[in-house]
Structure 1
Amino acid sequence: MSEPLIELKGVSKSFGQNPILDRVDLTVNRGEAIAIIGPSGTGKSTILRIMCGLLAPDEGEIYIRGQKRERLLEDAEDPIGISLVFQQAALFDSLTVEENVGFALFRRSKLPRHEICELVNQKLDMVGLAGTGKRYPAELSGGMRKRVSLARAIITDPDDPRGSPEVLLYDEPTAGLDPIASTITEDIIRQLKGLKGGCGAYVVVTHQDSTIRRTADRVIFLYQGKIHWDGSVHDIDTTDNPWLRQFFSGSVEGPIHIAG
């Protein structure tokens, strides 16, 4: 097997006196489609932020394509592109869709405006939003806003030698969406992997059953900062793992204890 794109070794993280991750080992390989699941407050979003370099662990090591990460993303770039798609879309209300998607290129690249606009239109077309560039976020549905944030995550400067992001990280990409909007988003997440201008692998944090089953090949169950199951999505319904069985059944009886 080729070298992992991302590797976490013994990663721990606490916020104050509250431990969130407890010596987690996790790898993301090229071509993988991973879902991280588990009850709320168990560290799923924290893992994404550590993976993309927005948050430093208290203990442990992070390797990006075999290179140990010594600093946060703001201090040093990784050898591969890693993009995070935020749960709430995080768009600028005062900017158009075009300006939101091309924001980083408008600010940092030396590309002429018309070339950036062409790139923006290509990415909007890839996420099923062709022709929306002049609209504002307030004119879009929740599902459309999430797809705008996805387009923003995959746009890159063609002069950047890293090119398109190798890894996309999705934080609850279908939360709050109706079933049809969820299906559209799930299909786009799948289609972008391996597509030119898309990504080489992705990790999805989600609670939604359809998103787990439609977007993931590998499922990781996280509870109380530890990985309790790591297996194929096809094994979800046959495993006797008590944490997974309780999670998918919604039972209040089992090893998962949620404060009422």
Structure 2
Amino acid sequence: MADFQDPSIIQGQTTAALDSHLAPRPASGNCDREVLLELKGISKQFGDNQVLDNIDLTLYRGEAVAIIGPSGTGKSTILRIIAGLLSPDAGEVYVQGQRREGLIEDSPDPVGIGMVFQQAALFDSLSVEENVGFLLYQHSRLPAQQIRQIVDDVLDMVGLPGTGNRFPAELSGGMRKRVSFARAIVSNPENPQDRPALLLYDEPTAGLDPIASTVIEDLIRAIQRNNGCSSYLIVTHQDSTIRRTADRVIFLHRGRIQWQGPVTAVDETDNPFVRQFFSGRVEGPIQMVQ
């Protein structure tokens, strides 16, 4: 079934319009330089392919960090290890100072982590409301009517009011992305500490046109503002997404961090990996796989 154009894009939805639904919530305490996540010596190999090779990474509360680099260099693998969906072969993961043992279901993190997958990963047989409220229906004791209201509020936040009864196949690509955002940020009001303090975005603007990408980029920033000291890691190849959503950039190639710095430095650095990536040149240290 062909996607139809998202009506909110036709109307030129702006950051200001999103902010009308996402009123900033005051942060509790000072999040400046407070470490939220640490990866120490993370390695992962699939067969003969060394995907990650002794990666160290620190993320602070309130930070917006983009992980960039050529395809197949382990960017999405890092997200899955952080989310607790994949175990590293070596190394340690610390969330808010506590080491995670095993996968996420074995040792829940002291801080919520939400993940937005590249392909939205919605349940095709469930409505939008059932997709967004899935965890609340499965793991809370809230009455169905209250869950529906929570879901309606979150859908309104992401600019999709009145879509709860529709199914994923009826939505455009940009709308499905936003439904996955709503699912990632929904939380049980009886357990506010479970609200995600860390969001992981895996190629959230892949396959979208420039206008739809702008809507998603604005939404990512608006969600962060609304959540006080929340942080996010975003994997992307798209130049506009890097520049509009990241405060800091980490460049990954062949399983290692080759460069990192503020997003404002990507046009100033002499690092050959960064220069080749942003210029699109064939010649350089990044070799195309034939």
The answer, yes or no, to whether TM exceeds 0.5 is yes
Does 2:37 correspond to 1:18?
no
Instruction: Report if aligned partners of 2:155, 2:161 keep a CA contact under 8 Å in 1.
Output: yes
Instruction: Report if aligned partners of 2:43, 2:88 keep a CA contact under 8 Å in 1.
Output: yes
Structure 2 residue aligned with 1:86: 117
Among 131, 134, 147, the residue aligned to 1:116:
147
Instruction: Report if aligned partners of 1:31, 1:194 keep a CA contact under 8 Å in 2.
Output: no
Please tell me the residue identity of whatever aligns with 2:239.
D
Structure 1 residue aligned with 2:194: 163
Using the alignment, how far apart are the partners of 1:4 and 1:227 within structure 2?
19
Instruction: Report if aligned partners of 1:216, 1:233 keep a CA contact under 8 Å in 2.
Output: yes
Query: Could you report, residue by residue, the CA deviation over 1:162-218 in whole angstroms, capped at 9, with x for unpaired residues?
Result: 23100000000000111111100000001111314x870001000001100110010
Query: Could you report, residue by residue, the CA deviation over 1:241-260 in whole angstroms, capped at 9, with x for unpaired residues?
Result: 10000001111111111212
Using the alignment, how far apart are the partners of 2:169 and 2:157 within structure 1?
21
- 1:248-259 counterparts in 2 under 5 A? 248-259=278-289
Compared with structure 1, are the counterparts of its residues 199 and 121 closer, same or farther at alpha carbon in structure 2 (3 Å cutoff)?
A: farther
Runs of 5+ consecutive residues of structure 1 not aligned to the other structure: none
Using the alignment, how far apart are the partners of 1:46 and 1:92 within structure 2?
22
Among 180, 192, 195, the residue aligned to 2:211:
180
Using the alignment, how far apart are the partners of 1:253 and 1:111 within structure 2?
58
Query: Could you report, residue by residue, the CA deviation over 1:15-57 in whole angstroms, capped at 9, with x for unpaired residues?
Result: 1111000000001110100100000000000000011111111
Using the alignment, how far apart are the partners of 1:76 and 1:199 within structure 2?
23
Does 2:277 correspond to 1:247?
yes
Structure 2 residue aligned with 1:135: 166
Deviation at 1:122, TM superposition (A): 1.1
Instruction: Report if aligned partners of 2:61, 2:229 keep a CA contact under 8 Å in 1.
Output: no
Using the alignment, how far apart are the partners of 2:206 and 2:249 within structure 1?
18
Among 118, 134, 146, the residue aligned to 1:103:
134
Q: Secondary structure at the match of 1:28?
A: strand
Structure 1 residue aligned with 2:99: 68
Among 184, 190, 201, the residue aligned to 1:153:
184
Using the alignment, how far apart are the partners of 1:199 and 1:173 within structure 2?
21
Instruction: Report if aligned partners of 1:167, 1:200 keep a CA contact under 8 Å in 2.
Output: yes
Instruction: Report if aligned partners of 1:192, 1:199 keep a CA contact under 8 Å in 2.
Output: no
Using the alignment, how far apart are the partners of 1:239 and 1:146 within structure 2?
33
Task: Work out the percentage of aligned pairs sharing the same amino acid.
Answer: 66
TM-score, normalised relative to structure 2: 0.87
Using the alignment, how far apart are the partners of 1:63 and 1:168 within structure 2?
16
Q: Secondary structure at the match of 1:194?
A: helix
Once superposed, what is the RMSD of the aligned Cα atoms?
A: 1.2
Deviation at 1:138, TM superposition (A): 1.1
Using the alignment, how far apart are the partners of 2:148 and 2:80 within structure 1?
29
Query: Could you report, residue by residue, the CA deviation over 1:131-162 in whole angstroms, capped at 9, with x for unpaired residues?
Result: 11111111110000010001000001112252
Please tell me the residue identity of whatever aligns with 2:271.
N
Please tell me the residue identity of whatever aligns with 1:242.
P
Q: How many residues align?
A: 259
Using the alignment, how far apart are the partners of 1:182 and 1:2 within structure 2?
30
Deviation at 1:93, TM superposition (A): 1.3
Q: Secondary structure at the match of 1:162?
A: helix
Please tell me the residue identity of whatever aligns with 1:24.
I
Using the alignment, how far apart are the partners of 1:97 and 1:19 within structure 2?
38
Q: Secondary structure at the match of 1:175?
A: coil
Does 2:85 correspond to 1:54?
yes
